[in-house]
């Protein structure tokens, strides 16, 4: 790890990412966004399975893959090939963070476990991501986002009362785990700066998700039962989605001041005067009656009209329910430069969703497009000091996969 000279906080940090799909992929993308050099190690001829997630595809490329892979380099290594494994160990010697999300036991079988790699680099930060962690009765089970959403309690509180539990529309527990992973890697790097010591991090998806229960966990701690409430909130009212004349609007009332301002904007002075709706606790207890009263008024105007009245004029927290295209393309996002473009080696300009940290005294952002499979096979080893003749011999030996393959 070395000090950077262009203001990017993780400049000089090198990451080797052997993970597949979201948990490791989004983690290393976060690190790349802050300046780390991320080398994605992929299965020859096939790559990360997320490359094949679709449809849709654009000229054979998965846009889903792009969102997890901006800012990285890609190399292919056949880890069943002893020479490829030795090449990996060479890279590990100069690596700061190593990421894998194998099922427990697989890293040991591939000889890429912490004990093996720390022999080559004793100050390595090693991040082992799995569904249930490296210990415990479920540790050897495989697991993905849907399973963890169900087992973490998220699906128990998502959806409408009396109906089937619903999965959050995003791969939420994958992304939660990825963010913990990036946080763990950066805090371990900070610790290493102070102590000079490497670190092994055991991160399980199920445990990663539980701290995010917050409000619902608090209810359980208080002996109360959680339930599915649609868009409603168990402890705040009104705090939900309402129907308007032509669509939907979200209104968020967190205190009595905002409640009074909302009623004034709606021209409903009778609501706060009603004993059923006077205080937040009263409104929570009479939520169905409150919803009927508010929706009767909201039905008189369109969503855009109510946004102007409630959010713009009255300053009360309210917003429309956008579809994904609208979420990616609106005046606020445009003004903040969140969705931009980056040059792809085969497709020209492609969209990139920038990450949100805007430092006052540091730079961030993606500098590389999502890589083609094996695009940097030669570059990475050339930068590592290998000669062209050595890289040629590696290719012939199948280090990057079958040299006779058309891939």
Which residues in the chain are classed under CATH 3.40.50.10540?
14-212+334-396
| CATH fold of 248-320 | formyl-coa transferase, domain 3 (3.30.1540)
pLDDT of residue 5: 52
What value does the mean pLDDT of the chain take?
96
| CATH fold of 14-212+334-396 | Rossmann fold (3.40.50)
pLDDT of residue 406: 52
Task: Detail the DSSP E strand segments found in 215-353.
Answer: 239-243, 248-252, 318-320, 339-344, 348-353
Query: Count of alpha carbons within 13 Å of 19, Cβ hemisphere only?
Result: 31
pLDDT of residue 242: 98
Q: What is the pLDDT of residues 317-366, one digit of tens each?
A: 999 999 999 999 999 999 999 999 999 999 999 999 999 999 999 999 99
**Alpha carbons 190 and 136: distance in angstroms, whole number:** 29
Band (54; pLDDT cuts 50, 70, 90): confident
The C-alpha torsion from 281 through 286 and 292 to 294, rounded to 10°, is -20
**Alpha carbons 25 and 19: distance in angstroms, whole number:** 7
Which residues are CB-neighbours of 89 under 8 A, at least 6 positions away? 117, 120
Check pLDDT > 70 for residue 6: no
| Set 17, 48, 96, 174: catalytic member | 174
pLDDT of residue 407: 47
Mean pLDDT of 272-283: 97
pLDDT of residue 57: 96
Check pLDDT > 60 for residue 297: yes
pLDDT of residue 403: 80
CB 394 within 8 A of CB 400: yes
Q: What is the pLDDT of residues 193-210, one digit of tens each?
A: 999 999 999 999 999 999
Q: Is 174 an annotated catalytic residue?
A: yes
Band (89; pLDDT cuts 50, 70, 90): very high
CB 102 within 8 A of CB 143: no
**Alpha carbons 172 and 257: distance in angstroms, whole number:** 33
**Alpha carbons 132 and 103: distance in angstroms, whole number:** 9
Q: What is the pLDDT of residues 145-156, one digit of tens each?
A: 999 999 999 999
Band (2; pLDDT cuts 50, 70, 90): very low
- pTM (2 d.p.): 0.94
pLDDT of residue 4: 44
Mean pLDDT of 24-43: 98
**Alpha carbons 260 and 122: distance in angstroms, whole number:** 61
Check pLDDT > 80 for residue 288: yes
pLDDT of residue 180: 98
Band (307; pLDDT cuts 50, 70, 90): very high
Which residues in the chain are classed under CATH 3.30.1540.10?
248-320
């Amino acid at each position: 790890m070395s000090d950077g000279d262009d203001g990017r906080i993780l400049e000089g940090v090198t990451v080797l990412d052997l993970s597949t799909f979201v948990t490791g992929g989004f983690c290393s993308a976060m690190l790349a966004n802050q300046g780390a050099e991320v080398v994605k190690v992929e299965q020859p001829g096939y790559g990360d399975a997320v490359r094949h997630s679709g449809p849709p595809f654009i000229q054979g490329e998965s846009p889903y893959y792009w969102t997890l892979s901006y800012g990285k380099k890609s190399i292919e290594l056949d880890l069943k090939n002893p020479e490829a494994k030795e090449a990996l160990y060479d890279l590990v010697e100069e690596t700061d963070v190593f990421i894998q999300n194998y099922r427990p036991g697989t890293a040991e079988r591939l000889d890429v476990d912490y004990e093996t790699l720390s022999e080559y680099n004793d100050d390595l930060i090693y991040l082992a991501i799995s569904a249930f962690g490296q210990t415990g009765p479920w540790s050897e089970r495989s697991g993905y986002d849907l399973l963890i959403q169900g087992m973490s309690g998220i699906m128990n509180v998502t959806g409408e009362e009396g109906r089937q539990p619903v999965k959050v529309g995003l791969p939420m527990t994958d992304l939660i785990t990825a963010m913990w992973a990036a946080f763990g890697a950066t805090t371990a790097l900070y610790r290493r700066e102070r102590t000079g010591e490497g670190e092994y991090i055991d991160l399980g998806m199920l445990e990663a998700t539980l701290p995010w229960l917050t409000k619902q966990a608090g209810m359980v701690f208080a002996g109360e039962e959680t339930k599915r409430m649609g868009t409603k909130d168990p402890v705040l009212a009104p705090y939900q989605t309402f129907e308007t004349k032509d669509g939907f609007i979200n209104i968020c009332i967190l205190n009595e001041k905002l409640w009074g301002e909302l009623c004034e904007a709606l021209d409903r002075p009778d609501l706060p005067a009603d004993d059923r709706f006077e205080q937040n606790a009263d409104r929570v207890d009479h939520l169905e009656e409150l919803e009927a009263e508010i929706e009767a008024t909201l039905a008189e105007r369109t969503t855009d009209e109510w946004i102007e009245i409630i959010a713009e004029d009255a300053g009360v927290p309210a917003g429309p329910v956008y579809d994904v295209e609208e979420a990616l393309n609106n005046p606020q996002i445009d003004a903040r430069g969140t969705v931009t473009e980056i040059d792809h080696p085969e497709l020209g300009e492609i969209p990139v969703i920038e990450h949100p940290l805007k430092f006052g005294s540091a730079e961030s952002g993606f500098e590389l497009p999502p890589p083609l499979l094996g695009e940097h096979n030669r570059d990475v080893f050339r930068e590592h000091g290998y000669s062209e003749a050595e890289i040629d011999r590696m290719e012939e030996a199948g280090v990057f996969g079958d040299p006779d393959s058309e891939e």
